[in-house]
Amino acid sequence: MHATDIIAKKRDGGELSREEIEFFVQGYAKGDIPDYQAASWLMAVFLRGMSDRETLDLTMAMARSGDMLDLSDIAPVTVDKHSTGGVGDKVSLIVAPLVAACGLPVAKMTGRGLGFTGGTADKLESIPGYRTDLNDAEFRAQLAKIGIVLTGQSADLAPADRRLYALRDVTGTINAIPLIVSSVMSKKIAAGADAIVLDVKVGNGAFMKTLADAETLAEAMVRLGTHAGRRVVALIADMNQPLGWAVGNALEVKEAITTLHESGPADLREHCLVIAAEMLALGGKAADKSEALALAMDMLSSGDAWQKFRELVEAQGGDVRAIEEPERLPQARLIEPVPAPRSGYLAELNAVEVGSAVVELGGGREQKDDLIDHSVGVVVHYKVGDLVQKGTPLFTVHAGDEAKLTAARERVLAAHTIGDDPVQRLPIFYKRVAE
Amino acid sequence: MHATDIIAKKRDGGELSREEIEFFVQGYAKGDIPDYQAASWLMAVFLRGMSDRETLDLTMAMARSGDMLDLSDIAPVTVDKHSTGGVGDKVSLIVAPLVAACGLPVAKMTGRGLGFTGGTADKLESIPGYRTDLNDAEFRAQLAKIGIVLTGQSADLAPADRRLYALRDVTGTINAIPLIVSSVMSKKIAAGADAIVLDVKVGNGAFMKTLADAETLAEAMVRLGTHAGRRVVALIADMNQPLGWAVGNALEVKEAITTLHESGPADLREHCLVIAAEMLALGGKAADKSEALALAMDMLSSGDAWQKFRELVEAQGGDVRAIEEPERLPQARLIEPVPAPRSGYLAELNAVEVGSAVVELGGGREQKDDLIDHSVGVVVHYKVGDLVQKGTPLFTVHAGDEAKLTAARERVLAAHTIGDDPVQRLPIFYKRVAE
């Protein structure tokens, strides 16, 4: 088999066999196939597409390129969640302890942020001492003991996907359904998930800009999961504005804590309860969705979810005082409100621009190896559809120095529009997709 | 400007601006844009195509990436020829001295062979002492003195094309019209050609397998030449069987010599006369095609073309005795006829297979840096449509050792078909394309 023949077959619209996909993926993972051949193949896949069968074979080839976790001796059913990324998305910080508090084990390996999209592992590292580098034995022991783990990617999960993703990022081949689907699902399958709840974002701050595209992606992921023998539910969620109020690592941890105490933003609370209920239903902890939702609400209001979060932080070496007294979390040197320049209805709050402002403040990464400042970020005080009062804080910028503060202030001001006419609030979820 | 934006624009079917093409080509030539980005861009161009304007901009950007020759002080009109490659294509060895003998200067930089396709520079190096590495001063002095130069690519012509071509070769992006057109024409324009005769091959031994594809390519090249202010004529020639009888470097030089003495294969003679006549007409050496053809025929039969070839070899340091007594050219150790296994009409003589047999004998390159054996090759004794007599030589294999001889014998035997029914002879040219 030759890489060039496989490239040419896909280029000409052919359907690749399982053997050809396996050859290409393992060859690339081992370094036998160079970046430039993978790049031209990726563009051919982007423009020619892949059948469901090819996408499944690609997913499984990438999953099998590294470790395949099996947690069945510890957790009878493993339910995972995945978000396609977004601005202010701290959902895992709340949902994981909430679901674990309901008795469903959650063993989650989380990623790091790149570009305007944040990563859960970065957020957790705002908590002094919190370890995201558990080894396999620690991972299993903690899961068995307290039923929850939230760590970085400790096992070598789908290394072929990691290499291909980095290449897609620089070759204009990110936004292709079979490539997105196989990237997400290969990691989840390698991590041993039996069931998966997908949080598919749509809007200016998401890969998928239109509802139709998001539906196509959600349907493809659900179909793939089914073909791979996993139960999968996808929820299509809004990402035209940031989720919740806070954007930035320590600021998002604080907001997760307030949400676990039932005093956080309403949109974030609802988002988390619905995702948790889907996970509980898939994991067999409730007879139906209504019961699952009731259970999740109970565990949030009872404080059990908060206690589980506390247990998690303690187990992973985090300073529990920092979450009990969140003012101990990293604080930016400069905290300055940005007043609303006029009164009216908030018509736009561009998620990408707010996320990019936080990256510029040092709270995210432009390049993969950039160091990040956990203390900085932006808090939004109004959401789309709200009636804004001139002079009241529209944003609060948390910055490390004056120059960055000024740049971020200008950027967030340019990211919003206030109008005279009433504006519809944005929905939290647009649609649920299941087999 | 960012490479990824340019990739994405072409990926999505957009038309790139001249500035974007210039940025990409110069960036790649300088090494600022890595292979993998160029590879995904090439695949996007392959699948999305390019407008005539984009193709012209790509051609000129590649031409300007290196030296731009200007020979107007030596030759008032520079007419070049280009073949899209083939098996047994020794046309330049005959046409260049033939045209020069008619008083039209020919200054030609020729390429090397790769895969089943031979290169004129390799063939010339069969002649002991023949130099293909003339420097600029030598090149100009010889052109001024004897009106003919046939050398390797001495100037740094279109280095961006050289890099892109090498990348296309390994990324499945060879066969795209805008990429082929810009690759050929950028080098011809950089070499200072005012007029160009294109020898576009069609058939199993050519890039273009069908007449329709070859016409599309020929029309695109003629259009581009016109837009670039050059006079261009394209002839679509058959490459389903080898051209002439000999395939292999020294064997082809011998056949060129016999053709210059009017005792070579009929198809090769006609092919060369027609190409030469087109060049003479474009170069203003004849009032019309008929006159040009008569002039070319005269110069061939008079021996003037042969004398010009002799002058050329002498000027470039070659051993003139080796062309006067061609048995002095490199000879293979083993020369063995392959008898026809049956009588009947020769229905197929697969050019690719014969060319590949010669590569396996060591007469061509599988990789760019392979050394070649000038002495080896295959001579065919019948052409498609001929009535073959069982037991007479169908091929003669010239090999360096027994193992290679055996392999080549099997390969050429598998490359032919003899049938009972009469078979139409293949045409030499299918079509002429001009503005």
Query: What is the model's pLDDT at position B358?
Result: 96
| Cβ contacts from A onto B, under 8 A | 82
Quote the CA–CA distance of A362 and A118 in Å, as a whole number.
Answer: 12
Largest CA distance in chain A: 67
Tell me the CB-side half-sphere exposure of residue A91, using CA atoms within 13 A. Answer: 29
Residue of A42, A163, A171, A209 to mutate, interface with B, max B Cβ within 10 Å? A171
Contact B43 A48 (CB under 8 A): no
Question: In this complex, which of B34, B35, B43 lies closest to A44 when CB atoms are compared?
Answer: B43
Question: Catalytic: B227?
Answer: no
| A45 to chain B: closest CA residue | B43
The closest of A334, A415, A347 to A375, measured between CA atoms, is A334
| A12 to chain B: closest CA residue | B47
Domain B330-419 in this protein, CATH class = alpha beta
The closest of A376, A365, A264 to A331, measured between CA atoms, is A376
Q: Is B121 helix (H, G, I), strand (E, B) or coil?
A: helix
| A36 to chain B: closest CA residue | B36
What is the pTM (predicted TM-score) of this model? 0.85
* Shortest alpha-carbon distance between residue A124 and chain B (Å): 32
List A162, A168, A310, A409, catalytic entry: A168
Query: The tokens 């998928």 sit on which residue?
Result: A208
- B162 CB contacts (<8 Å, ≥6 apart)? none
Query: What is the model's pLDDT at position B115?
Result: 75
Complex ipTM > 0.90:
no
Distances (CA, A) of A37 to A43, A167, B3, B36: 10, 11, 18, 7
Is residue B107 within 8 Å of B75, Cβ to Cβ? yes
DSSP 8-state code for residue A264:
S
B110-162 per-position pLDDT tens digit: 877 777 777 899 999 999 999 999 998 999 999 999 999 999 877 788 999 98
Residue of A40, A164, A168, A174 to mutate, interface with B, max B Cβ within 10 Å? A40
Residue of B43, B163, B169, B170 to mutate, interface with A, max A Cβ within 10 Å? B43
Distances (CA, A) of A139 to A70, A109, A142, B430: 12, 10, 5, 72
Quote the CA–CA distance of A355 and B160 in Å, as a whole number.
Answer: 39
Contact A37 B7 (CB under 8 A): no
Contact B172 A7 (CB under 8 A): yes
Contact A170 B8 (CB under 8 A): no
Quote the CA–CA distance of B3 and A135 in Å, as a whole number.
Answer: 39
Quote the CA–CA distance of A81 and A100 in Å, as a whole number.
Answer: 13
Quote the CA–CA distance of A97 and A311 in Å, as a whole number.
Answer: 9
Mark which residues 43-102 of B lie under 8 Å from A by CB: 43-44, 46-48
The arithmetic mean of pLDDT across residues B339-348, rounded, is 97
Whether B277 has its CB under 8 Å from any CB of chain A: the answer is no
Q: Please list every residue in chain B whose beta carbon sits closer than 8 Å to the beta carbon of residue A11.
A: 43, 46-47, 172-173
Whether A387 has its CB under 8 Å from any CB of chain B: the answer is no
A228-262 per-position pLDDT tens digit: 999 999 999 999 999 999 999 999 999 999 999 99
**Residue B209: phi, psi to the nearest 5?**
-90, -25
Question: In this complex, which of B4, B8, B35 lies closest to A36 when CB atoms are compared?
Answer: B35
The closest of A316, A294, A71 to A194, measured between CA atoms, is A71
B361-398 per-position pLDDT tens digit: 999 887 777 889 999 999 999 999 999 999 999 999 99
Name all contacts of B161-168 with Cβ < 8 Å and 24+ positions apart: B161/B62, B161/B65, B161/B186, B161/B187, B163/B28, B163/B29, B164/B25, B164/B28, B164/B38, B164/B42, B164/B62, B166/B368, B167/A36, B167/B35, B167/B38, B167/B39, B167/B42, B168/B42
The closest of B331, B346, B332 to B413, measured between CA atoms, is B346
* Shortest alpha-carbon distance between residue A395 and chain B (Å): 31
**Residue B180: phi, psi to the nearest 5?**
-65, -50
DSSP string, A212-242: HHHHHHHHHHHHHHHHTT-EEEEEEEE-SS-
> What DSSP element (H or E) covers A161?
helix A159-169
Question: In this complex, which of A11, A34, A167 lies closest to B172 when CB atoms are compared?
Answer: A11
Tens-of-pLDDT digits for all 435 residues of chain A? 899 999 999 999 999 999 999 999 999 999 999 999 999 999 999 999 999 999 999 999 999 999 999 999 998 898 999 998 889 999 999 999 999 999 999 999 887 777 777 789 999 999 999 999 999 899 999 999 999 999 987 778 899 998 998 899 899 998 899 999 999 999 999 999 999 999 999 999 888 999 999 999 999 999 999 999 999 999 999 999 999 999 999 999 999 999 999 999 999 999 999 999 999 999 999 999 999 999 999 999 999 999 999 999 999 999 999 999 999 999 999 999 999 999 999 999 999 999 999 999 999 887 777 889 999 999 999 999 999 999 999 999 999 999 999 999 999 999 999 999 999 999 999 999 998
Largest CA distance in chain B: 67
Neighbour-count burial of A291, counting CB atoms closer than 10 A to its CB (0-12 exposed, 13-18 middle, 19+ buried) = middle
Quote the CA–CA distance of B366 and B372 in Å, as a whole number.
Answer: 10
The closest of B221, B192, B188 to B81, measured between CA atoms, is B188
B73-119 per-position pLDDT tens digit: 998 898 999 998 889 999 999 999 999 999 999 999 887 777 777 78
Query: What is the model's pLDDT at position B366?
Result: 79
The arithmetic mean of pLDDT across residues B235-243, rounded, is 97
Whether A223 has its CB under 8 Å from any CB of chain B: the answer is no
| Residue A349 structure tokens | 């709050």
Whether A166 has its CB under 8 Å from any CB of chain B: the answer is no
Contact A40 B42 (CB under 8 A): yes
What does DSSP say about strands A387-388 and A344-349: parallel, antiparallel, or unpaired? antiparallel
Q: Is B213 helix (H, G, I), strand (E, B) or coil?
A: helix
Per-residue buried b or exposed e for A361-386, using 16+ beta carbons within 10 Å of the residue's own CB? bbbbbeeeeeebbbbbbbbbbbbbeb
* Shortest alpha-carbon distance between residue A240 and chain B (Å): 22
Question: Angle, to 10 degrees, between the axis of helix A249-260 and the axis of helix A91-101?
Answer: 30
**Residue B247: phi, psi to the nearest 5?**
-130, 120
- Give the bridge partners for B106, in sequence order: B148
List B81, B82, B285, B374, catalytic entry: B82
Quote the CA–CA distance of B316 and B310 in Å, as a whole number.
Answer: 10
- Among residues of chain B, what percentage have pLDDT more than 70? 100
Question: Catalytic: A83?
Answer: no
CATH code of A79-325, in short, is 3.40.1030.10
* Shortest alpha-carbon distance between residue B358 and chain A (Å): 22
Strands (E), B26-167: 79-83, 106-109, 148-151
The closest of B52, B70, B67 to B225, measured between CA atoms, is B52
List B83, B183, B356, B375, catalytic entry: B183
Contact B35 A35 (CB under 8 A): yes
Query: What is the model's pLDDT at position B138?
Result: 94
| Residue B302 structure tokens | 């008079």
Angle at B195 between CA B190 and CA B199, to 5 degrees: 95
Contact A44 B42 (CB under 8 A): no
- Measured over the CA atoms of residue A327, residue A328, residue A331 and residue A333, the dihedral's sign is positive
Q: Please list every residue in chain A whose beta carbon sits closer than 8 Å to the beta carbon of residue B41.
A: 43, 172
B39-57 per-position pLDDT tens digit: 999 999 999 999 999 999 9
| A46 to chain B: closest CA residue | B11
Residue of B7, B16, B40 to mutate, interface with A, max A Cβ within 10 Å? B40
Is residue B198 within 8 Å of B84, Cβ to Cβ? yes
Question: Catalytic: B161?
Answer: yes
Contact A37 B39 (CB under 8 A): yes
Q: Please list every residue in chain A whose beta carbon sits closer than 8 Å to the beta carbon of residue B11.
A: 43, 46-47, 172-173
Is residue B179 within 8 Å of B167, Cβ to Cβ? no
Question: In this complex, which of B39, B46, B47 lies closest to A39 when CB atoms are compared?
Answer: B39
- Give the bridge partners for A200, in sequence order: A236
Name all contacts of A405-410 with Cβ < 8 Å and 24+ positions apart: A405/A334, A405/A336, A407/A357, A407/A360, A408/A357, A408/A358, A408/A360, A408/A361, A408/A378, A409/A336, A409/A338
Distances (CA, A) of B193 to A313, A397, A412, B186, B286: 74, 63, 57, 10, 19
Residue of B1, B28, B36 to mutate, interface with A, max A Cβ within 10 Å? B36
Per-residue buried b or exposed e for B233-243, using 16+ beta carbons within 10 Å of the residue's own CB? bbbbbbbbbbb
- Residue B23, amino acid: F
Q: Please list every residue in chain A whose beta carbon sits closer than 8 Å to the beta carbon of residue B44.
A: 43, 47, 172
List A90, A187, A310, A416, catalytic entry: A187
- Among residues of chain B, what percentage have pLDDT more than 90? 89
Question: Catalytic: A161?
Answer: yes
Quote the CA–CA distance of B359 and B306 in Å, as a whole number.
Answer: 29
Is residue A395 within 8 Å of A378, Cβ to Cβ? yes
Whether A11 has its CB under 8 Å from any CB of chain B: the answer is yes
Whether A173 has its CB under 8 Å from any CB of chain B: the answer is yes
> What DSSP element (H or E) covers A260?
helix A249-260
- A219 Ramachandran zone, left/alpha/beta (phi>0; psi -120 to 50): alpha
Estimate to the nearest angstrom the gap between the alpha carbon of B233 and the chain centroid.
16
Whether A167 has its CB under 8 Å from any CB of chain B: the answer is yes
| Residue B130 structure tokens | 């023949």
Domain ranges for chain B: 3-49, 79-325, 330-419
What does DSSP say about strands A334-339 and A429-434: parallel, antiparallel, or unpaired? unpaired
Quote the CA–CA distance of A42 and A46 in Å, as a whole number.
Answer: 6
CATH 1.20.970.10 is the classification of domain B3-49 = yes
A70-102 per-position pLDDT tens digit: 999 998 898 999 998 889 999 999 999 999 999
List B161, B194, B238, B373, catalytic entry: B161
Chain-wide mean pLDDT for chain B? Answer: 95
